Structure 1
Amino acid sequence: MRWLLAYLFVSGALYFIVTHFPLGPVRTVPPSMFDAWTPILPATVPLYLSYLLVMPVLVWLGRKRDWLLPAFFAGALAAIACLVSHLFWPTAIVWPVAGSGWLAWLHRIDSPLAALPSGHVALPVAISVLLAMLRERSAWFFAAWSALLMLAVLTTGQHLFYDAACGAAVGVLAGTATAVLLRMRVDLRSMAMILVEWLCIVVTLRVALAAGDWRLYPLAFAIIATRQHALFILYHDAAHYHLSRHRRSNDFLINLAIGVPGTVPIEFYRPLHLAHHRHVGTALDPERRFLYQDQPWRFRPLDTIALARQLLGDASMLNTLRTMRAYRKAGGQFVRPTGPLLAAAIAWGAIVAMLACLCSAQTLALLAALWFGPLFTTGVLLQKIRSFAEHSGGPDVTPGWGDWTYSWRVGWLGRLFIWPYHINFHLQHHRNPNTAWHALPSEVRAGDRMLPSSGLPALLWSGARRKPCASRGNRAP
Structure 2
Amino acid sequence: PFAGSDRLHPDGRPRGAFRDSLRTVPDARNALTVVGSVLFPVAVVVAAATAAHPVSWVAAFLLMPIAQNRLFILHHEAAHRLLFSGRRINDLVGINLIGWLTFGTGGHGYRIGHIHHHRDEFGPKEPDFGLYARYPITTASMRRKHRRDLTGVSAFRIVRPRFQRLGETRHRRLTYWFLAGQALVLAAFWGAGHPWLYLLLWVLPWATLYQGLNRIRAIAEHGGMTRSADRRRTTHHVHQSLVARLVMVPFSVGYHLAHHADMTVPYRNLPRLHDALLDDGYVGDLEWPTYRSLWKALRSAETVAA
TM-score normalised over the length of structure 1: 0.49
1:431 aligned to which of 248, 251, 261: 261
Between the aligned partners of 2:225 and 2:304, the Cα distance in structure 1 is 16
Amino acid at match of 1:451: W
Superposition deviation, residue 266 in structure 1:
4.4
Amino acid at match of 1:456: L
Q: Secondary structure at the match of 1:276?
A: helix
Residue 279 (1) aligns with residue 120 (2): yes
Between the aligned partners of 2:255 and 2:172, the Cα distance in structure 1 is 30
Q: Classify 1:283/1:241 alpha carbon distance in 2 versus 1 (closer, same or farther; 3 Å).
A: same
Q: Secondary structure at the match of 1:458?
A: helix
Kept in 1, the 8 Å contact 2:137–2:298? The answer is: yes
Amino acid at match of 2:139: T
Residue 460 (1) aligns with residue 295 (2): no
Q: Classify 1:313/1:210 alpha carbon distance in 2 versus 1 (closer, same or farther; 3 Å).
A: same
Between the aligned partners of 2:153 and 2:270, the Cα distance in structure 1 is 34
Kept in 1, the 8 Å contact 2:189–2:197? The answer is: no
Kept in 1, the 8 Å contact 2:70–2:250? The answer is: yes
Amino acid at match of 1:303: T
Q: Classify 1:313/1:213 alpha carbon distance in 2 versus 1 (closer, same or farther; 3 Å).
A: same
Kept in 1, the 8 Å contact 2:65–2:210? The answer is: yes
Say what the alpha-carbon RMSD is for the aligned residues.
3.5
Between the aligned partners of 1:236 and 1:258, the Cα distance in structure 2 is 10
| Greater RCO (CA < 8 Å, at least 6 residues apart) | 2
Residue 310 (1) aligns with residue 129 (2): no
Between the aligned partners of 2:172 and 2:126, the Cα distance in structure 1 is 19
What's 1:390 paired with?
Answer: 221
Q: Classify 1:221/1:325 alpha carbon distance in 2 versus 1 (closer, same or farther; 3 Å).
A: closer
What's 1:369 paired with?
Answer: 200
Superposition deviation, residue 202 in structure 1:
2.0
What's 1:254 paired with?
Answer: 94
Q: Secondary structure at the match of 2:288?
A: strand
How many equivalent pairs are there?
A: 264
Between the aligned partners of 2:149 and 2:188, the Cα distance in structure 1 is 33
Superposition deviation, residue 284 in structure 1:
2.8
Residue 233 (1) aligns with residue 73 (2): yes
Q: Secondary structure at the match of 1:301?
A: coil
Residue 191 (1) aligns with residue 31 (2): yes
Q: Secondary structure at the match of 2:140?
A: helix
Q: Classify 1:351/1:262 alpha carbon distance in 2 versus 1 (closer, same or farther; 3 Å).
A: closer
Q: Classify 1:432/1:335 alpha carbon distance in 2 versus 1 (closer, same or farther; 3 Å).
A: farther
1:269 aligned to which of 87, 110, 114: 110
What's 2:40 paired with?
Answer: 200
Superposition deviation, residue 205 in structure 1:
1.0
Residue 412 (1) aligns with residue 242 (2): yes
Superposition deviation, residue 315 in structure 1:
2.4
Amino acid at match of 1:366: L
Structure with greater Cα Rg: 1
Q: How does 1:306-345 map to 2 (within 5 A)?
A: 306-322=141-157, 334=171
TM-score normalised over the length of structure 2: 0.74
What's 2:190 paired with?
Answer: 356
Q: Classify 1:215/1:467 alpha carbon distance in 2 versus 1 (closer, same or farther; 3 Å).
A: farther
> Deviation string for 1:186-214 (max 9, x for gaps)?
72222222222233322221111011122
5+ residue gaps, structure 1, are 1-184, 471-477
What's 2:134 paired with?
Answer: 299
Between the aligned partners of 2:114 and 2:216, the Cα distance in structure 1 is 17
Superposition deviation, residue 352 in structure 1:
5.1
Residue 243 (1) aligns with residue 76 (2): no
Superposition deviation, residue 325 in structure 1:
6.6
Between the aligned partners of 1:203 and 1:458, the Cα distance in structure 2 is 35
Between the aligned partners of 1:246 and 1:386, the Cα distance in structure 2 is 29
Superposition deviation, residue 429 in structure 1:
1.0
Superposition deviation, residue 404 in structure 1:
1.0
- Greater Cα shift, 312-321 or 415-424: 312-321
**Identical positions, percent:** 26
Superposition deviation, residue 275 in structure 1:
1.2
What's 2:4 paired with?
Answer: none
Amino acid at match of 1:218: V
Amino acid at match of 1:392: G
Q: Classify 1:442/1:313 alpha carbon distance in 2 versus 1 (closer, same or farther; 3 Å).
A: same
Kept in 2, the 8 Å contact 1:406–1:426? The answer is: yes
Q: Secondary structure at the match of 1:270?
A: helix
Superposition deviation, residue 366 in structure 1:
1.7
Between the aligned partners of 2:199 and 2:60, the Cα distance in structure 1 is 13
Kept in 1, the 8 Å contact 2:186–2:198? The answer is: no
> Deviation string for 1:72-127 (max 9, x for gaps)?
xxxxxxxxxxxxxxxxxxxxxxxxxxxxxxxxxxxxxxxxxxxxxxxxxxxxxxxx
Kept in 1, the 8 Å contact 2:101–2:185? The answer is: no
Q: Secondary structure at the match of 1:447?
A: coil
